[in-house]
Amino acid sequence: MKNRMKISTLAATALLATTTSVSAGEVEVLHWWTSGGEAASVNYLKDKLSDAGVSWTDFAVAGGGGENAMTVLKSRAISGNPPTAAQIKGPSIQEWGDLGFLADIDGVAQANDWDNLLPSVVSDVMKHNGKYVAAPVNVHRVNWMWSNPEVFRYAGATIPTTWDDFMVQAKKLQSAGFIALAHGGQAWQDATLFEAVVLGVGGADYYNSAFVNPVDLDVLNSDTTVEVFETFGKLRQFVDANSPGRDWNVATSMVIEGKAGMQIMGDWAKGEFKVAGKNVGTDFICTAAPGTSGAHTFNIDSFAFFKQSDAASSEAQNIMAAEILGTDFQTVFNLNKGSIPARLGVSRAEFDSCAHDSMDAFVAASASGSLVPSFAHGMAVSSAVSGAIYDSVTNFFNSDQSAQEGADQLVASVSSAL
C-alpha cells in the first residue's frame, strides 16, 4: 500500500504514465561508487527506487574518479547495449548527447520545475540542446584537506593554510614519524592534488583561464604554471613509497588510523570518516586546501539517461529522475556521500560543519568569481584535454622532471588535445 501511494504521488507530480502496479520497471545503473561511504550512498538510491517499484540492476565498475567505468561504458554503448542510466558528468554529458545516445527527461524536469530548483551552474550542465538529459545528485567540493588532529598534536604541528606553511608543517609530521601526506599514486589522484595547487598558487582567475574551456594557452604557458609545478614537485617528498596504485579510500584510512597527517581530496573522503564512526572536530578536521579558503572547486555528480526502446524502461527512468531531485533523497544521499544537495530548498539542519562550509563557500565563491569547475573530475574541459592534463601531471609527479619541464610538457600536451 505504501509503495502504491508513493507511485501515485510521483505519477501526479512527474507526468508519469499512470500505474498502480508495484513493479514499475527496472533500471540498470552504471557507477563507480564502491568504497564504504560511496556504497552507503548508492544503496540509498537503490532503496528509494525499490520503494517506488523500480528494481535495480547494479553495474558497478570499481575505480575512483571513474576512468574504468567510462571505458566500460563506451564499449557497452558502442555494442548497442548501453545501461538505463550512467554516472556521467560535466562536459561529457554534451559529448554523449552529441553522439545521439541520451534520452530526454524534460517532461519530468518541467513538471517538477527543475529550472527553479537548480542553480543555473548545475542545470546548464544537465541539458543537451535545451532539454534535460541528466539528473544531478550532489555538489562535491574538491579543494579540501582532511587532517588528523591527534597526529598534529603529537608532532607539535599546526594545520597549514598556505602552501609555504604546508612544507614546514609536513616536515614536522615526518620528523615525528608520520606519513605527512596520504596519497594514492593514480593519475586522477595526482590531478586532484595538482588542481588544489593550481588554485592555491595561481588563484581563481588564472585557474579559469588556463584550465577551463576555452583554455587560454598564453595563460597556461606562463611563469605562474612554472610556479605551480615548483610547489607541486615539493609534495613528492611527503608521499610514502607505497603510494603507487593505492586507492583513494585506502589513503583516507591512513588519516583515519593516525598513520598519516593529511589528505587532499574531495569531500567524498568525509563519507569514509563517517562509515568509520569518526566525528568532525574531534577525530578529523576539514579545512580548505592551502591557499584556497573562500574558493570552491565544484564537482557535480549526475546520472545521464540512455535512449530506450521500450516504454517501461523510459518510465523507470522518469521515476528515477524524479526521485533523485526529491528533498529526502538529496538529504540522506548527501549525508552519506559527504557532498551537499544539488537542488535548492533542502534544509541544512542535519548537515555537519564541513557541509555548511561547503554550502557557504559555494554561495560566496559564486559571488566573488572563485567558484571553479574541477578539471580533475571532468567538470571543466573536454575528455581529450583532461586526458592530456592527467598524463602530463602524473608523469611529472612520478619523475624527477623540473618545474619548467613539467610546465612545458603540460602546455605541449594540452595544445595538441585542443
Chain residues binding ligand GAL by CB under 6 A are: 32-33, 38, 64-66, 140, 248, 268, 299, 301, 377
Distance in angstroms (rounded) separating the CA atoms of residues 9 and 16: 10
What's the min distance (Å) between Cβ of 331 and ligand GAL?
17
What's the min distance (Å) between Cβ of 32 and ligand GAL?
6
What's the min distance (Å) between Cβ of 376 and ligand GAL?
8
Distance in angstroms (rounded) separating the CA atoms of residues 377 and 373: 8
Please list the residues that pair with 146 across neighbouring strands. Answer: 263, 286
Distance in angstroms (rounded) separating the CA atoms of residues 143 and 280: 17
What's the min distance (Å) between Cβ of 138 and ligand GAL?
7
Q: Cβ closer to ligand GAL: 299 or 314?
A: 299
What's the min distance (Å) between Cβ of 20 and ligand GAL?
36
**How many Cβ atoms sit within 10 Å of the Cβ of residue 116?**
10
**How many Cβ atoms sit within 10 Å of the Cβ of residue 125?**
21
What's the min distance (Å) between Cβ of 45 and ligand GAL?
13
Which of 412, 5, 49, 6 lies closest to 221, judged by CA? 412
The SS3 call for residue 132 is: strand
Give the residue nearest to ligand GAL (CB).
64
Q: Cβ closer to ligand GAL: 38 or 323?
A: 38
In the sheet that holds 302-305, the strands lie side by side as: 55-60, 26-31, 85-87, 302-305, 134-136
Residue 144: which H helix or E strand, with range? strand 144-147
What's the min distance (Å) between Cβ of 299 and ligand GAL?
5
Query: Residue 91, preceding bond cis, omega within 30 degrees?
Result: no
User: DSSP label at 18?
Assistant: P
Instruction: Decide: 256 and 322 in contact? Cβ < 8 Å.
Output: no
Q: Cβ closer to ligand GAL: 68 or 81?
A: 68
Q: Cβ closer to ligand GAL: 10 or 304?
A: 304
Matching residue, cell 501515485: 8
What's the min distance (Å) between Cβ of 250 and ligand GAL?
12
Q: Cβ closer to ligand GAL: 104 or 195?
A: 195
Q: Cβ closer to ligand GAL: 14 or 93?
A: 93
Please list the residues that pair with 134 across neighbouring strands. Answer: 304
Q: Cβ closer to ligand GAL: 314 or 382?
A: 382
Instruction: Decide: 82 and 291 in contact? Cβ < 8 Å.
Output: no
Q: Cβ closer to ligand GAL: 33 or 178?
A: 33
Instruction: Decide: 252 and 36 in contact? Cβ < 8 Å.
Output: no
Matching residue, cell 558502442: 78
What's the min distance (Å) between Cβ of 179 and ligand GAL?
21
Q: To the nearest 5 percent, what fractions of the chain are helix, strand and coil?
A: 55, 15, 35
Q: Cβ closer to ligand GAL: 132 or 375?
A: 375
